């Protein structure tokens, strides 16, 4: 787990809310505090869709950022800066597997719950914190380290 401090908040926020840079990521949760606090549970409600619609979506557990992005942006835009926001993004499975394959680890693909990017803005400060969640206990940190290196390089390319 690493903390990447975002110095160019305006540039990063633009890429997060207005561009497609994070659209392939899934949203596990999001909260925005302005004059109220809005909370989004990114978990897909299967009952909302017909079986065919859900199949066509690829049977995801969580919504994609591209489907939540505009809603979140609408909550933060305006003449006043939000008090805070927190967005937890989960890497898509293909990217997770790519990172897994790039490292020498004992962790199996089926043991990974997810690789996460926590984006937090509060007190005029913005940080991105990585997180790795496994279904099993492991002392092997090579996947976490590979993910941290990937996000450090990838996020630095965005800012």
Question: Residue 137 has what pLDDT?
Answer: 86
Q: What is the mean pLDDT of the chain?
A: 90
pLDDT tens for 84-138 read: 999 999 999 999 999 888 888 888 888 899 999 999 999 999 999 999 999 888 8
Q: Where does the pLDDT of residue 157 fall: very low under 50, low under 70, confident under 90, or very high at 90 and above?
A: low
CA distance 62 to 30: 12
Residue 10: strand, helix, or coil: helix
Q: pLDDT > 90: what percent of the chain?
A: 62
Asked if the model's pLDDT at residue 156 lies above 80, the reply is no
Question: Residue 159 has what pLDDT?
Answer: 57
Ranges of each domain in the chain? 3-158
Instruction: Give residues with Cβ within 8 angstroms of 132, minimum separation 6.
Output: 1, 112, 114, 115, 116, 143, 144, 147
Mean pLDDT of 50-55: 91
Asked if the model's pLDDT at residue 29 lies above 70, the reply is yes
Question: Residue 84 has what pLDDT?
Answer: 96
The two three-digit tokens of residue 90, written as one number: 């989960």
pLDDT tens for 65-90 read: 999 999 999 999 888 999 999 999 99
């Amino acid at each position: 787990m690493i903390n990447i401090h975002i110095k160019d908040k305006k540039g990063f926020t633009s890429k997060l809310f207005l561009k497609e840079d994070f659209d392939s990521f899934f949203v596990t949760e999001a909260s925005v505090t302005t004059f109220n606090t809005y909370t989004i549970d990114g978990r897909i409600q299967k009952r909302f869709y017909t079986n065919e619609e859900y199949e066509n979506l690829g049977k995801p557990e969580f919504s994609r950022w591209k489907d939540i992005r505009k809603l979140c942006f609408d909550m933060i835009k305006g003449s006043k800066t939000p008090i805070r926001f927190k967005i937890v993004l989960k890497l898509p499975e293909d990217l997770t597997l790519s990172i897994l394959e790039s490292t020498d680890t004992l962790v199996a693909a089926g043991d990974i719950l997810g690789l996460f990017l926590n984006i937090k803005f509060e007190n005029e400060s913005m940080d991105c914190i990585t997180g790795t969640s496994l279904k099993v206990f492991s002392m092997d940190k090579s996947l976490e380290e590979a993910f941290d290196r990937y996000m450090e390089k990838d996020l630095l390319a965005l800012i």
